[in-house]
């Protein structure tokens, strides 16, 4: 028997684009991809903590209960809205390539591109430095308090949620090739099924070391020594000194306006400018009159994405390799107007070139960050009664990252080094101490009286999904829950992936305009958001049904 949920149009409100209402509260709000993490963050708020305390607490729990996506061995970015000053500040806690990184040695071994997994993809993990940095700058609790719920779930166990179980099972064959990953992550030789209890006592002990020793336990301490020794023993690039040198950097977000709203993203090495460039291009069209997910709208959306991604492929790299003048050009209205002229409203272009100035134009397969990945990430948003709002993203890049687990620690190491290129002359070429081009990017949408932290998980999907989220709210009037529920699209190198909510006539018209159309199921990541109305103090939260998550407030 086939069971179908009641159509959202059957709801008493008559709104057809959401299956449930936004969550509303005044004292605090948090939205994450796992209910256990949301509950831990809510408890931190109820005990008197602020939004940053709640976010770090929830992020640590996610590192335990959604281990496919995030962990101690990953990277972190965040944007914080300070309730007192009303200002935004960004945090970049992505790690750098090890001091032994040698692209020439890799090409001499016959590699044309960075591998997707394994020891060569492991850069310094920045998660713990990010957690500690957020608490030091804005928090009211100690790191040990923030880690307590995560330690509990790692030691006592937690029931594996449905979507996490499916992701775990999909990557089990790769985990089975690594002895420690198999021992820790495949109990009984298989991925845990949904609803079964999973424990990671090694990770509990690691988190306790961090709670007592602070981030120094990772960056120069015994945990870092274990990471460096394991990666080096497998042929990777890291040393203890590389971990000891890691610092999380506070940065200024980059922004643009979209029909009177301001959209804030993070600068390189994140792809935030890509979302802003897309929105600047789309602003030149009457998107509302085109209709949501119409052929006209999706065509110009896909072409705007292709233009912005051509620029991403040429320019996205370590912050030191992206000049400020270039970044300001890429997010300017004037530049978008020139790029918009290249779009044929009736036909998909065969190719878009990056516009000058061009430090490098990638050609051929795997030319650096042009490579499109599914990506595995967690995103969360939180707000408190003081007006603080945080947008935070944490990731291993791919499911369980590199596939390596450090013996005795329970830590799965990320694969962020896969974002480098080996192409000579490219600003994103692998080099010691360089940060790779990064897909992770948290965001904010600010109106006259509102600020909303939002994000969408899913590697290369993130920037293009940000553009959809903003258009859904600004052009089509959707609320904080609806905007994450409606059918999304994702442009990939092989064509335009559409979810089932996009009609067949629209699909046919897109094909007629030259787009290869594909099934988008499982490719759209997951959205979370929290919005503050500064006039009333009311908080609204939304959580994507594509994940296991929950928005909750009090």
> pLDDT value at position 23?
98
d(CA 355, CA 473): 30
Residue 514 located in a structural domain: no
Tens digits of per-residue pLDDT, 163-213?
999 999 999 999 999 999 999 999 999 999 999 999 999 999 999 999 999
Q: Of 315, 335, 369, which one is at a domain's C-terminal end?
A: 369
> pLDDT value at position 356?
67
Q: What's the sign of the alpha-carbon dihedral 238, 243, 249, 253?
A: positive
Tens digits of per-residue pLDDT, 449-465?
999 999 998 878 899 99
Q: Of 369, 404, 420, which one is at a domain's C-terminal end?
A: 369
Q: Domain containing 321 — which CATH number?
A: 1.10.246.130
d(CA 143, CA 212): 9
The active-site residue out of 256, 377, 421, 439 is 377
Provide the pLDDT confidence category of residue 8 given band limits of 50, 70 and 90.
low
When pLDDT is averaged across residues 313-319 and rounded to a whole number, the result is: 96
Give the range of the structural domain holding residue 305, as residue numbers without chain letter.
Answer: 257-369
Query: Is position 107 annotated as part of the catalytic site?
Result: no
pLDDT at 4 over 60: no
Residue 308 located in a structural domain: yes
> pLDDT value at position 292?
97
pLDDT at 1 over 50: no
Backbone angles phi, psi at 395, to 5 degrees: -160, 155
When pLDDT is averaged across residues 402-429 and rounded to a whole number, the result is: 97
Residue 280 located in a structural domain: yes
Bridge partners of residue 381, in order along the sequence: 31, 391
pLDDT at 327 over 70: yes
Beta strands in 48-149 (DSSP E): 75-81, 88-93
Provide the pLDDT confidence category of residue 308 given band limits of 50, 70 and 90.
very high
69 and 194 in a single domain? The answer is yes
420 and 454 in a single domain? The answer is yes
319 and 197 in a single domain? The answer is no
Provide the pLDDT confidence category of residue 362 given band limits of 50, 70 and 90.
very low
Query: What string of DSSP letters covers 166-191?
Result: HHHHHHHHHHTTSHHHHHHHSGGGSP
CA distances in angstroms from 118 to 51, 105, 241, 418, listed in the order given:
36, 16, 21, 9
Tens digits of per-residue pLDDT, 31-47?
999 999 999 999 999 99
Which pTM was predicted?
Answer: 0.94
**Number of domains, the chain:** 2
When pLDDT is averaged across residues 107-127 and rounded to a whole number, the result is: 97
Average per-residue pLDDT for the chain: 93
363 and 387 in a single domain? The answer is no
With pLDDT > 70 as the criterion, what percentage of the chain qualifies?
93
Residue 17 located in a structural domain: no
Bridge partners of residue 258, in order along the sequence: 261
> pLDDT value at position 59?
99
Cis peptide before 425 (omega within 30 of 0): no
Residue 508 located in a structural domain: no
CA distances in angstroms from 35 to 104, 130, 201, 238, 523, listed in the order given:
46, 22, 21, 35, 22
Element of type H or E holding 389:
strand 389-397
Provide the pLDDT confidence category of residue 523 given band limits of 50, 70 and 90.
confident
300 and 217 in a single domain? The answer is no
With pLDDT > 90 as the criterion, what percentage of the chain qualifies?
89
362 and 382 in a single domain? The answer is no
Tens digits of per-residue pLDDT, 212-234?
999 999 999 999 999 999 999 99
Strand order in the sheet with 254-258: 23-25, 539-543, 527-533, 450-456, 443-446, 261-265, 254-258
Residue 19 located in a structural domain: no
Which of 63-77, 95-109, 254-268, 482-496 has the lowest average pLDDT?
482-496
Residue 429 located in a structural domain: yes
When pLDDT is averaged across residues 81-109 and rounded to a whole number, the result is: 97
208 and 294 in a single domain? The answer is no
113 and 147 in a single domain? The answer is yes
> pLDDT value at position 235?
96
Q: Domain containing 182 — which CATH number?
A: 3.60.20.40
29 and 119 in a single domain? The answer is yes
Cβ burial of 346 (10 Å; 0-12, 13-18, 19+) is exposed
pLDDT at 384 over 80: yes
350 and 376 in a single domain? The answer is no
348 and 471 in a single domain? The answer is no
Provide the pLDDT confidence category of residue 16 given band limits of 50, 70 and 90.
low
When pLDDT is averaged across residues 437-446 and rounded to a whole number, the result is: 96
Residue 120 located in a structural domain: yes
Cβ burial 493-515 (10 Å sphere, 16+ → b, else e): eebbbbbeebeeebbebbeebeb
197 and 264 in a single domain? The answer is no
Q: Of 369, 384, 407, which one is at a domain's C-terminal end?
A: 369
């Amino acid at each position: 028997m086939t069971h179908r949920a009641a159509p959202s149009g059957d709801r008493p409100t008559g709104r057809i684009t959401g299956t449930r209402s936004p969550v509303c509260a005044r004292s605090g709000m948090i939205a994450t991809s796992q209910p256990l993490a949301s509950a831990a963050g809510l408890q931190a708020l109820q005990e008197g903590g602020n939004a940053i305390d709640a976010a770090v607490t929830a992020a640590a729990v996610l590192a335990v209960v959604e281990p496919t996506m995030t962990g101690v061995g990953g990277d972190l970015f965040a944007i914080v809205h300070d309730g007192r000053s009303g200002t935004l500040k960004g945090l970049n806690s992505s790690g750098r390539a090890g001091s032994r990184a040698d692209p020439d040695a890799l090409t001499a071994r016959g590699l044309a591109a960075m591998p997707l997994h394994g020891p060569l993809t492991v850069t310094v993990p920045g998660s713990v430095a990010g957690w500690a940095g957020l608490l030091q700058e804005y928090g009211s609790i100690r790191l040990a308090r923030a880690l307590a719920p995560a330690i509990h779930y790692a030691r006592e166990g937690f029931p594996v949620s449905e979507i996490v179980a499916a992701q775990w099972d999909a990557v089990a064959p790769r985990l089975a090739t690594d002895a420690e990953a198999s021992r820790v992550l495949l109990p009984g030789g298989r991925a845990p099924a949904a609803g079964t209890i999973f424990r990671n006592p090694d990770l509990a002990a690691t988190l306790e070391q961090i709670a007592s020793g602070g981030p120094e336990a990772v960056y120069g301490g015994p945990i870092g020594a274990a990471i460096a020794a394991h990666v080096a023993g497998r042929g990777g690039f890291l040393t203890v000194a590389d971990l000891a040198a890691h610092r999380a950097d506070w940065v200024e977000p980059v922004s643009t306006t979209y029909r009177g709203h301001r959209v804030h993203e993070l600068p390189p090495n994140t792809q935030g400018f890509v979302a802003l460039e897309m929105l600047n291009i789309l602003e030149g069209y009457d998107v509302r009159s085109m209709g949501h997910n119409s052929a006209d709208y999706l065509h110009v959306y896909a072409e705007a994405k292709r233009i912005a991604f051509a620029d991403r492929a040429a320019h996205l790299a370590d912050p030191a390799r992206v000049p400020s003048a270039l970044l300001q050009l890429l997010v300017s209205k004037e530049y978008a107007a020139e790029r918009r002229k290249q779009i044929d409203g009736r036909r998909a272009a065969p190719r878009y070139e990056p516009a000058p100035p061009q430090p490098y134009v990638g050609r051929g397969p795997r030319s650096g960050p042009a490579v499109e990945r599914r990506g595995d990430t967690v995103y969360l948003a939180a707000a408190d009664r003081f007006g603080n709002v945080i947008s935070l993203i944490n990731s291993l890049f791919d499911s369980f990252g590199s596939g390596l687990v450090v013996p005795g620690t329970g830590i799965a190491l990320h694969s962020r080094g896969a974002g480098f290129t080996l192409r000579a002359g490219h600003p994103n070429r692998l080099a010691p101490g360089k940060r790779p081009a990064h897909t992770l990017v948290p965001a904010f949408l600010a109106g006259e009286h509102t600020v909303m932290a939002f994000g969408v998980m899913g590697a290369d999907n993130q920037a293009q999904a940000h553009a959809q989220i903003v258009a859904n709210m600004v052009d089509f009037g959707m609320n904080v829950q609806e905007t994450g529920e409606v059918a999304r699209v994702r442009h990939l190198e092989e064509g335009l992936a559409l979810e089932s909510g996009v009609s067949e006539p629209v699909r046919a018209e897109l094909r007629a305009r030259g787009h290869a159309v594909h099934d988008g199921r499982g490719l759209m990541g997951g959205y979370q958001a929290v919005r503050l109305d500064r006039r009333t103090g009311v908080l609204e939260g939304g959580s994507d049904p594509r994940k296991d998550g929950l928005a909750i407030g009090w």
